Amino acid sequence: MKILALLLSLSLLVFIHELGHYFVARLFKTRVEKFYLFFNPYFSILRAKKIGGKWKLSWFSKKSPESFEENKENTEWGIGWVPLGGYCSIAGMIDENTTSADKLSSEPQPWEYRSKPAWQRLFIVLGGVIMNFIGALIIFSMILFSWGEETLPLQNATMGYDYTEVALKNGFQNGDIILAVNAKPVSEMSEAVEKLLLDEHNSCTIKRGDEIVKINLPNDFSKQIIAAEAKQFAVPRFPFVIDNFALGSIAQKNGMKEGDSIVSINGVKTRAFTDFVVEIAKHKLKPISLGYYRNGKEMTSNFTLDENGKIGAVAKNPYLMFKTKKVEYGFFESIPAGISQGVESLVNYVKQFKFVFSKEGASSLGGFGTIGNLFPETWNWQLFWNMTAFLSIILAFMNVLPIPALDGGHVMFTLWEIITGKKPGDKFLERAQIVGMVLLFALLIYANGNDLVRWLSGKF
C-alpha cells in the first residue's frame, strides 16, 4: 500500500510540475516536442498526437510513427513504462532530454526556447516550480474544506506524552506536558517540536504531575534528534481500552470484551498502553493475570501467553478518548487557510534545510524508501493528500536550488544573462548539465544507500 501511495503521489506531482513547464512554454509560443508521464527507454506504453484535427494513437511502440515525426508542430503525449518521473521536452532547450549541444547546431528557429527573450525563458523554467507550489496550496485548501482541521491540544492529553529516547536523556520524563518553549506558550505538539528543532538555546516549561518544571536543552539538541532518526518526538499516553480483537485472540477466548480497560499485569500497574507493551514483553510463554475494569468493576483474567507474547487485542484510538479541537472550513474560508498552511510548510522546510549540511543531517538523508515510509500502511485519503501536498512543497523548493540539471540551474544561468547581457554558450550549458546530472545521480545513490543500510539494520 505504501508503494502504491508513493507511486501515485510522485506521478501526480511530476505531472503537475511538467504541466507547468508546458503551459508557460505554449503561452510564449514555444514548441513542446514531447510530454511524458514516466520514462520510456526502448519503448512506450502509449504515444498520442493530434494530426489533422484527429488524435492518432500508437501502443507499445519502440519509436514514434512516421506520421508523428512529420508533424512537428503538435506535442507528442505519452506514457512510459518506468513508473518514476516524467518529462516535458521543449524544443531548443538543453536539459535532461537534450544534453548535447550538437543537436542544437542548426540555426535557431522562432518557435524554439533558445530564440525566446531571457525573461520568457526564465518563466518557462520556473513554470514547474510555480505549478508545484500552487498545486500544494490547492491541495491544502481542499483538505481543509473536505475534512477540516482536527488537533489535540497539549493539555487535553491528560496523561501526558511518551518521549523519544533522546528527549529522555536530555531531561524529559514520560508523562510530561510541554507548556512553553523558550518562554513562549505552545498549544500543540507539532508547534512545540517545530520550535525545539528550529530554534536555538532551547528551554522548555513542563507540567510534571502537579509541578511546573523548566528544562534547559543543549545547543545541539536538534542535531541529536535528527541523528537518532526517531519517527516521532512524542506520542500521547493513553489507557489500554480494547477496541476490537484479532482473529484467535487469547484474551477474547478467556472472557475479555471490547471496552475493557487493562490496568495491570501480575499486579504491576500499567496505566498507559505503552506501560502495558513494555511489561507484557517480559512474560512470553508465562502465565499472567490481567487486571482490568469493565463498567466500573475491577476484574481479572488468567491465561498463559504464547511465544509471541501477544493477547490479540487492539487498543482504542487515543484521539477518540481525549477532547480534540476541530475547526470546519467553508469553501472560501479554506482558501486563505490553505495558502497560510502551504507558506508555513515551505518556511519550516527551508529552515530545516540547514541541517542537510551537518553530519547528522547528511546521515539522515533518505531515498524512495524513506519517502514511502511516510505514507500509512492502510489507505487513508486525508493522509495521502497531506503527504502529497507536503512533497509538492519539497519538490518545488528542491527544484529551484541553483544546481545544473535542476530548474534552479537554468534559472541561475538565465539570471546571469539578464544581469550581464552575456548568454552562456551551448557547449558550456551542455557540460554544466552533465555535471549536474552526475551530482544528482550521486545524491540519489547516497540517499537510497542510506535507506538500504536502515533496512538491513531493521530501522524501517
Q: What pLDDT does residue 434 have? A: 83
Q: What is the 3-state secondary structure (H, E, C) of the chain?
A: CHHHHHHHHHHHHHHHHHHHHHHHHHHCCCCEEEEEEEECCCCEEEEEEEECCEEEEEEEECCCCHHHHHCCCCCEEEECCEEEEEEEEECCCCECCECCHHHHCCCCCCCCHHHCCHHHHHHHHHHHHHHHHHHHHHHHHHHHHHHCEEECCHHHCCCCEEECHHHHHCCCCCCCEEEEECCEECCCHHHHHHHHHHCCCCEEEEEECCEEEEEECCCCHHHHHHHHCCCCCEEECCCEEEEEECCCCHHHHCCCCCCCEEEEECCEECCCHHHHHHHHHHHCCCEEEEEEEECCEEEEEEEECCCCCCCCEEECCHHHCCCCEEECCCHHHHHHHHHHHHHHHHHHHHHHHHHHHCHHHHHHCCCHHHHHCCCCCCCCHHHHHHHHHHHHHHHHHHHCCCCCCCHHHHHHHHHHHHHHCCCCCHHHHHHHHHHHHHHHHHHHHHHHHHHHHHHHCCCC
Here the cell at position 239 is 489507557
Distance CA 353, CA 344 (A): 14
Q: Assess contact for 360 and 226: CB atoms under 8 A.
A: yes
Distance CA 166, CA 38 (A): 41
What's the full length of the chain, in residues? 460
Tell me the torsion sign for CA atoms 354, 356, 361, 367.
Answer: positive
Distance CA 178, CA 160 (A): 9
Q: Assess contact for 171 and 324: CB atoms under 8 A.
A: no
Task: Determine if the pTM surpasses 0.85.
Answer: no
Q: Assess contact for 49 and 71: CB atoms under 8 A.
A: yes
Q: What pLDDT does residue 117 have? A: 93
Distance CA 416, CA 414 (A): 5
Q: Assess contact for 178 and 186: CB atoms under 8 A.
A: yes
**Distances, alpha carbon 345 to alpha carbons 13, 227, 442, in Å:** 17, 22, 27
Q: What pLDDT does residue 95 have? A: 66
**Distances, alpha carbon 17 to alpha carbons 124, 239, 262, 289, in Å:** 11, 45, 51, 58
Residue carrying the nine cell digits 507536503: 390
With b meaning 16 or more CB within 10 Å and e meaning fewer, what string describes 383-412? ebbbbbbbbbbbbbbbbbeebbbbbbbbbb
Q: What pLDDT does residue 459 have? A: 63
Q: Assess contact for 68 and 55: CB atoms under 8 A.
A: no
Q: What pLDDT does residue 86 have? A: 86
Distance CA 179, CA 189 (A): 10
Would you give per-residue pLDDT tens digits along the chain (460 residues)? Answer: 888 888 889 899 999 999 999 999 999 999 999 999 988 888 899 999 998 889 999 999 988 888 888 888 889 999 999 887 788 999 988 765 554 555 556 788 889 998 899 999 999 999 999 999 999 999 999 999 999 998 899 999 999 999 999 999 999 999 999 999 988 999 999 888 888 888 776 789 999 988 999 999 888 888 888 887 777 889 999 999 999 988 888 989 998 899 999 999 999 999 999 999 999 999 888 999 999 999 989 999 998 888 888 888 989 988 888 998 899 999 999 999 999 999 999 988 888 777 776 776 667 677 777 777 778 778 889 999 999 999 999 999 988 988 887 888 889 989 998 998 888 887 888 788 888 888 878 877 877 787 777 677 766 5
Here the cell at position 106 is 542548426
Domains identified in the chain and CATH numbers: 30-111 (no CATH), 151-235+321-327 (2.30.42), 240-315 (2.30.42.10)
